[in-house]
């Protein structure tokens, strides 16, 4: 059985690895990519999405989404992590194809009506497109199977501020809308992604298994590895964005806890994903929000092997 998926993305080096994992996994039927600002500007994110699909010789809709946070100024982007071009300064040729005429939100809504209760949304960037789709179609939670989010930090420190992870911090008001919409939300945040580092030879293995797709990921990742190696004081890499897709393929690899999440929107706590496990509080400030599931553990060795085996197909 395949799972229909829409990836909402801001490619991004780990986005590239995640997208290529999805297109190779037989359990995933990728319907299209929607793009959002985040790691880079939305226009460049859209161009990169097209580049990645062209490189893989795959024809899928790419729909451009929001360029700004729901509230507040334009993002400062994360080119110091992903390179000026978002893909490790590979400077790939301009895409020959063009983005779909539909906006990201329009595409999500159209597909949700076409395949009711069959689609898993996988946002691996800020949540502006998902929030806008909810505003345009209030019944969207009734039409979507689940929402697997890469973002947040339930029990660990953030990576932008001491309390906030980048995707949530970039569009905190949108995140508040998405987390409180009352649908099946699963959060794959820094609790699992920062606990699961990859040695540099991991990307070499991907390249050996798949010279075309793995080769691009390996080349782009050198910039990424250099960034994380300064942070970790050793050669290391993280592939945050592939986790919510790996869950679709093999949910048994993950430990999830149900609870309530509140999103910080004030300047000091902007983007904070404060988590209260179910039953840990009776405060209405928490219990008035719909419960969500948060990933708190993952089988590192099995996850690594899943990525390698999928790239070897």
Q: Which residues are catalytic?
A: 10, 240
Query: Could you check whether the bond before residue 12 is cis, i.e. omega within 30 degrees of 0?
Result: yes
User: What is d(CA 228, CA 234) in angstroms, rounded to the nearest whole number?
Assistant: 8
Q: Assess contact for 11 and 127: CB atoms under 8 A.
A: no
State the pairing for strand pair 62-64/3-9. Answer: unpaired
- In DSSP terms, which residues pair with 9 in a beta bridge? 35
Of how many residues is the chain composed? 313
> CA end-to-end span of the chain, whole Å?
18
Q: What residues are paired with 260 via a beta bridge?
A: 276
How far are the Cα atoms of 154, 167, 211 from residue 55, in angstroms, in the given order?
Answer: 36, 26, 12
């Amino acid at each position: 059985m395949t799972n229909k998926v829409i990836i909402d993305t801001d490619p991004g080096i780990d986005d590239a690895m995640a997208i290529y994992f999805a297109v190779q996994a037989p359990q995933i039927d990728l319907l299209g990519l929607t793009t959002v600002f985040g790691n880079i500007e939305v226009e460049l994110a859209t161009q990169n999405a097209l580049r990645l699909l062209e490189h893989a010789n795959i024809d899928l809709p790419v729909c451009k989404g929001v360029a700004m946070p729901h509230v507040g100024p334009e993002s400062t982007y994360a080119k110091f992590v992903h390179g000026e071009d978002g893909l490790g300064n590979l400077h790939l040729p301009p895409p020959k194809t063009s983005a779909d005429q539909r906006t990201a939100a329009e595409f999500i809504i159209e597909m949700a009506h076409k395949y009711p209760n069959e689609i898993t949304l996988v946002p691996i960037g800020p949540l502006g497109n998902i929030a806008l789709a909810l505003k345009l179609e209030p019944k969207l939670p009734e039409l979507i199977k689940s929402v697997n989010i890469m973002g947040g930090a339930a029990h660990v420190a953030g990576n932008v501020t001491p309390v906030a992870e980048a995707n949530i911090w970039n569009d905190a008001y949108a995140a508040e809308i998405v987390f409180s919409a009352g649908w099946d939300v699963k959060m794959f945040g820094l609790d699992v992604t920062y606990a699961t580092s990859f040695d540099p030879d991991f990307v070499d293995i991907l390249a050996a298994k798949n010279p075309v797709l793995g080769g691009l990921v390996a080349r782009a990742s050198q910039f990424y590895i250099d960034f994380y190696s300064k942070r970790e004081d050793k050669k290391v890499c993280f592939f945050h964005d592939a986790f919510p897709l790996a869950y679709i393929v093999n949910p048994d690899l993950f430990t999830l806890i149900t609870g309530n999440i509140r999103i910080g929107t004030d300047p000091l706590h902007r983007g904070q994903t404060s988590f209260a496990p179910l039953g840990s509080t009776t405060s209405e400030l928490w219990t008035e929000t719909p419960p969500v599931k948060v990933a708190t553990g993952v089988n590192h060795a099995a996850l690594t092997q899943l990525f390698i085996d999928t790239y070897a197909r």
